[in-house]
Structure 1
Amino acid sequence: MPSVVQVGLVGFGLSGRYFHAPFLSVNPLFHLKKIASSRPDAVHQFDEKIEWVATADELFADPSIDLVFICTPNETHVEYARKALEHKKHVVVEKPFAITESEAIELLELAGQRGCLATAYQNRRWDSDFLTIKRLMAEGALGTVVDYECRYDRFSPIDPNARSWKEQPGVGRGNLYNLGPHLLDQALNLFGDPDTVQATIRIIRPDSQVADYFDIKLGYADKVVRLESSLMIYHNQLRYSLHGTEGSFIKGGLDAQEERLRLNQLPNEAGWGAEPDDRWGTLYRDGRAELVESLPGNYTPFYDNLYETIVNGAEPAITPAEIRRLTRVIDLAVESNRTQRVMPYAL
């Protein structure tokens, strides 16, 4: 493996253009060589030195590409990742890694057979709010957490003139597969395997063709964990409510990185990931309220770990066991909603 990893992107929509390309372009460990996309103008506008190809197959056939990012519609993730692995490319798959647990197992096994890395992009582990929560929990600021609630809401009414694939019905479509992996990955990262999964998944927006709301309860013996998301929340301020034996932490607002990336700012700029103070959370304990400055968010560690895993054999930040667990919980959430039952997590 060369000292600089040669990278190809499949897809150049929101994910490829605004999340991956900026971080790859400023990281000296990677060279973003080629992009397969239906939008050549967007590729050349971002960086005219990047090679453009029309199809993923052309990119996979390039023997110089070491690593491929799959940034395409959800239902194509497994097919493209499988083809990349068959060409012995390492693969990062946008969320959801796969639509079902069985598909995730299939991809992970193929990666093992090919001696390649297959991992998921779970960038929200490096959001400023989540990093701050992990620090507070590690410091014992809340005591033992007994009640955890996380929301990720947006106001996205149906535009009758829009043609986004995300609003078209189909396998793997809807908010559970869009924002759900973020909330679930964070909760599972904090608390581990749940005992049970219970979910309500429904449509609440007028004229929506995809499920745009979910409420998931992860069952643990010693705590309550609830995850909720709606695409019809105009004042989408509340994000986290944590309550422990020693105190509570309430946090609003979203990590600032996405909005800065959408403004074409690059992650090597000064002050990257700093969160405005009006988004800082409040810690309640000992009879007083304390504003807690958020740690800066930064997705760069994901890419640095990716390099260490590919080149030096380090453990991936997002492990195969974590990928399988997340896809299993989504499967169980779907089944719980269908049957109106509380589903056991254990096999």
Structure 2
Amino acid sequence: MPSKILNVGLIGFGLSGRYFHSPFLSTNPNFKIKTVVERSKNEAQEFDPSIGNARSVEELLSDEEIDLVFICTPNDTHFEYAMDALQNGKHVVIEKPFSATEEEARELVKVAGEKGLILTAYQNRRWDSDFLTIQKLLGEGKLGDIIEYECRYDRYREAVAGSWKERAVPVGGNVYNLGPHLIDQALVLFGEPETVTADIRIVRPNSEIDDYFDIRLGYPDKSVIVKSSLMVYENKLRYVLHGTKGSFIKGGLDPQEETLRQNVLPTEKPWGVEPEDRWGTLYSEAFTGIVESEAGDYMPFYQNVYDAIVNGAELAVKPEEVLRTCRVIDLAFQSSNEKKVLAY
């Protein structure tokens, strides 16, 4: 048995709370999902009858037994709810986007530091199959020095759905939705850029949100591009890397989300294994052929949060890393609006 079990509260039980967080928290013996905020529904109890229900954020945060809060609500509420949770002495994990601006993010980080609380962002895509594979290839020097890196996360959604994610709401749009994943991955690989240049636009008929972005991070020795469009019918391509020793091209998505959506728990083995048709291809003088993907697994994120809170371990997704992603997003919007290359 763990030395301490952390009581967790989830604010929201949509896609994120139900299909990402709950399966991992419920199968890790270090955590207990104590309460979920649902204003009118009882879907958390359908997932696990032992989970308590709170009808308001205030009710959840007033519970002194709650140690850790996950913010799984619409984007424009993240700052307010996270600040309230910190002020109530709770450790906090915030879904992407972490906040609307770098300034808001810095406020949250400052309060967490003053109160000695753990605060981090849910950058689960660091534990995707494809990204782990790329990190391994780079670590082994298979591509040499990277000259060009491009990561895409495209979808085809011609019909504008009724979701709040498709409405012109504060902190809405595709940059806030998918941008944090792609930007964080690039910064993990290559560190802070010198410049940020972006083209953010609406490409779908009748769309209310930015549904296309091309964000370029400037480095002295490489080109780093992260892109997303919701108007790509053939959206298989994910990564293209060119280096001094070879190239790596990969398509397909990590299988964990689709598996979780089928109500399969991460205790099912094998977990996070990509089908062979999603494996990438390495092209080099030393070897040209298919590279088997590493297995993806989001559980290390949760275990790291536990170890940081209980054992004083270093966070995997550090506050300073969260801040740099927020900064790039701010600069991307400014660059696109002003049609300028901006210094980071």
TMscore range, shorter length:
over 0.9
Alignment of 1:120-199 (within 5 A): 120-159=121-160, 162-199=161-198
Q: Which amino acid aligns with 2:289?
A: E
The total of aligned residue pairs comes to: 343
Residues 37 and 55 in structure 1, CA contact (< 8 A), matched pair in contact too: yes
1:39 is displaced (CA, Å) by: 5.2
Aligned partner of 1:214 in structure 2 is 213
1:2 is displaced (CA, Å) by: 6.5
Aligned partner of 2:66 in structure 1 is 65
Aligned partner of 1:285 in structure 2 is 284
Secondary structure in structure 2 of the residue aligned to 1:290: strand
Q: Which amino acid aligns with 1:301?
A: P
- Partners of 1:39 and 1:270 lie apart in 2 by 35
Aligned partner of 1:102 in structure 2 is 103
Aligned partner of 1:117 in structure 2 is 118
* 1:135-189 alpha-carbon deviations (Å, 9 max, x no partner): 0000000011110000000112234xx4311111122100000000000000000
- Partners of 2:80 and 2:65 lie apart in 1 by 21
Aligned partner of 1:246 in structure 2 is 245
5+ residue gaps, structure 2: none
- Partners of 1:67 and 1:310 lie apart in 2 by 9
| TM-score, structure 1 normalization | 0.97
Structure 1 stretches of 4+ moved >6 Å:
none
Alignment of 1:244-323 (within 5 A): 244-286=243-285, 289-323=288-322
1:330 aligns with 2:329: yes
Secondary structure in structure 2 of the residue aligned to 1:295: coil
Aligned partner of 1:78 in structure 2 is 79
Residues 250 and 278 in structure 2, CA contact (< 8 A), matched pair in contact too: yes
1:52 is displaced (CA, Å) by: 1.0
The farther-off stretch of 109-118 and 99-108 is 109-118
Aligned partner of 2:230 in structure 1 is 231
1:55 is displaced (CA, Å) by: 1.0
1:90 aligns with 2:91: yes
Residues 37 and 52 in structure 1, CA contact (< 8 A), matched pair in contact too: yes
- Partners of 1:287 and 1:13 lie apart in 2 by 47
Q: Structure 1 residues 2 and 108 mapped into 2: Cα distance closer, same or farther (>3 Å)? A: farther
- Partners of 1:267 and 1:252 lie apart in 2 by 23
| TM-score, structure 2 normalization | 0.98
1:287 is displaced (CA, Å) by: 7.2
Residues 257 and 298 in structure 1, CA contact (< 8 A), matched pair in contact too: yes
1:54 is displaced (CA, Å) by: 1.2
Residues 42 and 53 in structure 2, CA contact (< 8 A), matched pair in contact too: no
Secondary structure in structure 2 of the residue aligned to 1:149: strand
- Partners of 2:299 and 2:37 lie apart in 1 by 23
- Partners of 1:235 and 1:63 lie apart in 2 by 50
Q: Which amino acid aligns with 1:22?
A: P
Secondary structure in structure 2 of the residue aligned to 1:40: coil
Q: Which amino acid aligns with 1:269?
A: E
Overall identity of the aligned pairs, in %: 59
Q: Which amino acid aligns with 2:124?
A: N
Q: Which amino acid aligns with 1:308?
A: D
1:41 is displaced (CA, Å) by: 3.0
Root mean square deviation, CA, Å: 1.2
Q: Which amino acid aligns with 1:36?
A: V
